[in-house]
């Protein structure tokens, strides 16, 4: 029974996850704590972990909650449920897309959407920067963070560094520098 | 047949890598997606990736998951979509199961904490690089610059939901290029 509940809950979360980011965290919290699956404090921990580990937050939260409640089976059920809406909606849109993407109207629309994406990513950069700096204990750590971030920006944007290698180096730098 | 399996395997591995190194949300993976999909494998052009990214944000689901399904479907139909999806979420599942299992010990580990602080700094750099990289492809005229700045303000201050910012962009693009096409705007 709890597997069915897990499935329905995370399917719902998947449906209402638009545009990613922090908007759906409130929804996830409400769904999970109101069912007594987790306390509010535990949820904050999960969000912290989900942000620091790779992968979409919704997927991370689903795997975590499912595993803590039921074990491996729960993790798989909750995770499948949270990605199912993606699969359905994207496949539906893809069909439509192949048919219409070369029409002039759609081309014009996308010519307007492309710069919007630039603005959205820029806004995300600002949000992630403020949240990260806010979470650090003192000015020295913040300065170090800004220096590392600038180095990665320069290397990836202008020197064709591999993003993966850059992140691995950042983790190592963190081990050495962030005391 | 073997070639087909090879292709799907490459698709899986590419998205496994993307999933494994996507820290801090879907935007941070733009540079990595460009490298894996455009530079290394030639599966799509830079512009196609941008369009896919815009679409991925406009439909339900996490951005990273949607992008994977889109690209997988474009390359190899339903099978490709499923393979890319599995690839992008597998790292999350493996890592989160391990963390859920050792939850208490993980929280207290000071070395992990330090490494994560370094990672977070790198994520900032990656998202800034993403902004720069896609701006080069996407902002091609003064109209684009105005739209990009407006979208930035509307989204950074949370003035209207992201879905509406995208809809507005599409609408103004349609109106602008429709009325200016005779005057050579592009």
- Taking only the tens of pLDDT, chain B with its 186 residues reads 677 888 899 999 999 998 888 765 566 677 888 888 888 888 888 888 888 888 887 777 777 888 899 999 988 999 999 999 999 999 989 998 998 888 767 667 888 878 878 888 888 898 898 889 889 888 989 999 999 999 999 988 878 877 788 889 999 999 999 988 645 544
* Prediction ipTM score: 0.73
Q: Could B120 and A18 be called an inter-chain contact, meaning their C-beta atoms sit closer than 8 Å?
A: no
When CB atoms are compared, the residue of B51, B100, B116 closest to A64 is: B100
H and E: helices and strands count for chain B: 8, 0
Nearest Cα residue to A4 out of A87, A89, A74, A82: A74
Chain A environment of B55 (Cβ under 8 Å): 90, 93, 97
Q: Could B22 and A93 be called an inter-chain contact, meaning their C-beta atoms sit closer than 8 Å?
A: no
Chain A environment of B61 (Cβ under 8 Å): 14, 17, 83, 85-87, 89-90
């Amino acid at each position: 029974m709890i597997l069915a509940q897990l499935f329905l809950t995370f399917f719902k979360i998947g449906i209402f996850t638009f545009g990613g980011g922090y908007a759906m965290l409130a929804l996830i919290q409400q769904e999970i704590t109101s069912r007594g699956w987790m306390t509010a404090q535990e949820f904050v921990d999960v969000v912290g972990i989900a942000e620091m580990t790779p992968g979409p937050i919704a997927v991370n939260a689903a795997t975590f909650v499912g595993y803590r409640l039921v074990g491996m089976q729960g993790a798989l059920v909750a995770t499948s449920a949270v990605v199912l809406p993606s699969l359905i909606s994207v496949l539906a849109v893809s069909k439509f897309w192949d048919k219409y993407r070369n029409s002039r109207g759609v081309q014009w629309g996308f010519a307007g959407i492309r710069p919007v994406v630039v603005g959205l990513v820029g806004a995300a950069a600002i949000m992630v920067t403020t949240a990260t700096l806010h979470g650090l204990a003192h000015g020295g750590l913040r300065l170090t963070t800004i220096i590392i971030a600038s180095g990665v920006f320069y290397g990836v944007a202008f020197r064709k560094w591999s993003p993966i290698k850059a992140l691995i180096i950042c983790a190592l730098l963190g081990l050495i520098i962030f005391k | 047949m073997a070639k087909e399996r090879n292709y799907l395997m490459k698709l899986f591995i590419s998205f496994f890598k993307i999933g494994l190194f996507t820290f801090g949300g879907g935007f941070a993976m733009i540079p990595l997606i460009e490298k894996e999909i455009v530079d290394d494998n030639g599966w799509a052009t830079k512009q196609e990736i941008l369009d896919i990214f815009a679409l991925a944000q406009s439909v339900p689901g996490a951005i990273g998951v949607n992008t994977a399904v889109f690209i997988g479907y474009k390359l190899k139909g339903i099978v490709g979509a499923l393979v890319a999806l599995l690839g992008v979420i597998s790292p999350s599942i493996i890592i989160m199961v391990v963390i859920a299992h050792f939850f208490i010990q993980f929280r207290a580990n000071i070395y992990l904490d330090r490494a994560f602080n370094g990672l977070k700094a790198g994520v900032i750099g990656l998202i800034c690089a993403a902004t720069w990289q896609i701006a080069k492809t996407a902002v091609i005229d003064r109209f684009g610059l105005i739209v990009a700045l407006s979208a930035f303000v509307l989204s950074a201050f949370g003035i209207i939901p992201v879905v509406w910012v995208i809809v507005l962009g599409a609408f103004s693009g349609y109106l602008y290029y429709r009325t200016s096409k005779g005057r050579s705007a592009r």
